[in-house]
Structure 1
Amino acid sequence: MKMIKRLMFLSIACLAVMLCSCAQEQSSQPSSAYPVAVNFSKVGKYPALTKSGAGYVYDDVLEYRVWVHPGGDDYYRAFSTYEEAKRFSEQTEKAEEPLVLVLQREHINEQEPGKFVHVKGDRITEWKVEWLSGSKRGPDTIANFIREKTKIPQSGGGTQSAR
């Protein structure tokens, strides 16, 4: 009986230690108004020159960037969170507002106004941070977007999808 009580006590103690560890790991994750970088160890290691804008949806946030124009060579600093980037931007002379570097595994190409094409394949691009809101790609995001944007108004107030 004593052995069972000891095993139960040890089991409970181990469980308590594991729960505390998990809570500490979760609390060490930075909180942010925007998504944090998907892989902190890669922040600052992506190419400086990337696509710019477009695509309508994103899959992952790679880093936040602040471009600085000191009068010689332009450079950027990379951060894991928007708040870190914003602070640096505000404290650094000749710094731009933060941008976000995103990974798009699939995106929407609009080669001409109103003509949307679903493109599959990885692409990295810089976005304005505010574009993140409501733009995270889900399983049906692109199909729904294209379907909604290609509706043609008919007389009588109804809509019909374009073919």
Structure 2
Amino acid sequence: MEPEKVGTYPALVKSGAGYFYDEVLEYRVWLHPERGAFRRNGGNDYFVAFAQYERALAFSQRSKGAEEPLVLIRQSRYVNEPIPGKFEVVNGERLTEWQVQWLVGSKRTPGAIERFLEEHKK
């Protein structure tokens, strides 16, 4: 993670998927004015970015209209599942938001994708 880049990534990114991640870029807490968050950004939803999960979690717990933190990740090689049970390897950069718990065991390491494909053969 590059702390100086936290908060500079695009707001609109992919959501979920890919099974593997290469880098954690930031943690995001999305705020919703219709649920009591401070109104800014024309009353649209917005996020506050953090370099540390613990700080994002504390902020989300004390802020009205806040969701639990999400993590913004970078994927450079990942597994796509266009239809259930059909897996394909994709090479190319993609930014996506994940639920934080999906990070566990999902860091792409040498051979991880190949092992995944072997384990999920039909």
- Give the TM-score taking structure 2 as reference length: 0.92
What is residue 60 of structure 2 aligned with on the other side?
A: 89
Hey, what does 2:70 align to over in structure 1? 99
> Which has more radius of gyration?
1
* 5+ residue gaps, structure 1: 1-37, 153-163
Q: Deviations over 1:110-136 (max 9, x none)?
A: 011111001111100000000000000
> What's the CA shift string for 1:51-110, capped at 9, x where partnerless?
000000000000000000012211100000100100100010010000000000101000
Query: 2:14 matched to 1:54?
Result: no
Which residue identity is paired with 2:88?
V
Aligned residues: 114
Query: Which structure has the highest strand share of the two?
Result: 2
List per-residue Cα deviations over 1:3-47 (Å, max 9, x = no partner).
xxxxxxxxxxxxxxxxxxxxxxxxxxxxxxxxxxx1000000000
Counterparts of 2:9 and 2:105 in 1: how far apart (Å)? 24
Partner of 2:109: 138
Flag the structure with more relative contact order, 1 or 2, with Cα contacts below 8 A and sequence separation at least 6: 2
Aligned partner of 2:80 in structure 1 is: 109
Using structure 1 for the length normalisation, give the TM-score: 0.69
Matching residue of 1:156: none
State the 1:139 CA deviation. Answer: 1.1
Can you give the 5+ residue segments of structure 2 that lack an aligned partner in the other structure?
35-42
Partner of 2:90: 119
* Identical-pair percentage: 57
User: 1:1-163 counterparts in 2 under 5 A?
Assistant: 38-71=1-34, 72-150=43-121, 152=122
Richer in helix (by share): 1
**What is the aligned-residue RMSD (CA, Å)?**
0.7
